[in-house]
Amino acid sequence: MGIVNVTPDSFSDGGEFLDPERAVEHGLQLAADGADVLDIGGESTRPGAAEVSAEEELRRVIPVIEGLIAAGCTKAISIDTSKAAVAERALAAGAVIVNDVTALGDAGMAGVCARGSSSLILMHMKGTPRTMQEDPTYDDVVAEVREFLAAALERAVDDGVDEDRIWLDPGIGFGKTVEHNLELIDRLGELRSLGRPIVLGASRKRFIGTLTGREVGDRVGGTLAANVIGVARGAAMLRVHDVREAREALDVAEAILGTREWREPWTAVAS
């Protein structure tokens, strides 16, 4: 999954792709680099980020979704939003996945996904983007994240979302210390018992900067390590800024480890 942030303030590439034409160009490049999914986001979720109105989010993302489709993009388009109204319009414009970092924080979200027959990514976050990094504590981070995702999954299914279309994400960096992030990636396999494929979003995040001393635009080496280990532990989809590098790392990892389930996440999870 390649990231297209149509925002002025994203932590890693804020402002770079605010212009719809540039965002479309960037998405097409990520597709050419080997992305299967393009994740279009109009609201930053970085710690302390300001909230954006639905109107402003729509103004940012809809031209990009329409532009990608008009340009002949055949990759699955995902809308990174926590607002049901934005998801609904994005699905109407051609998106097929809703990436909800609040895991149904908006009570209308599951209904929109059910009616639109979209896929849905449910992510764990402790608190809100404004507060989440204020001394997050857990007794057992993996157990708590697992419990949260199990409850969100149940709610989504109760609200009519097809279980086969749901993906789960531990929410790396969302209310977690460096140690929490490392433990979640290392023990990612424990989330597989929920029976749904796992999405991992570690790309360029702060814990990688802490470990490597690198600035945000210079974290691809650390990101690749997190991603390869994540896949080896059971991640079925990686949300990344640097698609070409991620794809190459997976190709080599796959050559070493043999046929891997990330190629067929649905069947692997069902078996």
Q: Kindly list the residues in this chain that would bind ligand HH2 in the complex (CB under 6 A).
A: 3, 5, 7, 10-12, 41, 44-46, 80, 99, 101, 121, 123, 169, 171-172, 199, 201, 239
Q: Which is nearer to ligand HH2, 99 or 118 (CB)?
A: 99
- C-beta nearest to ligand HH2: residue: 201
* Strands across the sheet containing 166-169: 2-5, 37-41, 76-80, 97-100, 119-123, 166-169, 198-200, 235-238
Asked if 176 is an active-site residue, the reply is no
Distance CA 119, CA 78 (A): 9
Cβ-contact 178, 207 below 8 angstroms: yes
The nearest distance, CB 160 to ligand HH2, in angstroms, is 21
User: Closest CB to ligand HH2 among 121 and 208?
Assistant: 121
**Residue of 192, 205, 206, 219 marked active site:** 205
CB of 20 to ligand HH2, least distance (A): 16
What b/e string do you get for 112-127 counting C-beta neighbours within 10 Å, with b at 16 or more? bbbebebbbbbbbbbe
CA distance 100 to 88: 12
Least Å from the CB of residue 206 to ligand HH2: 10
As a whole number of angstroms, the distance between CA 169 and CA 100 comes to 10
| Closest distance to ligand HH2 from the beta carbon of 39 (Å) | 7
Q: Is 83 a catalytic residue?
A: no
Eight-class DSSP state of 10 = -
Q: Which residues are marked as active site?
A: 205, 239
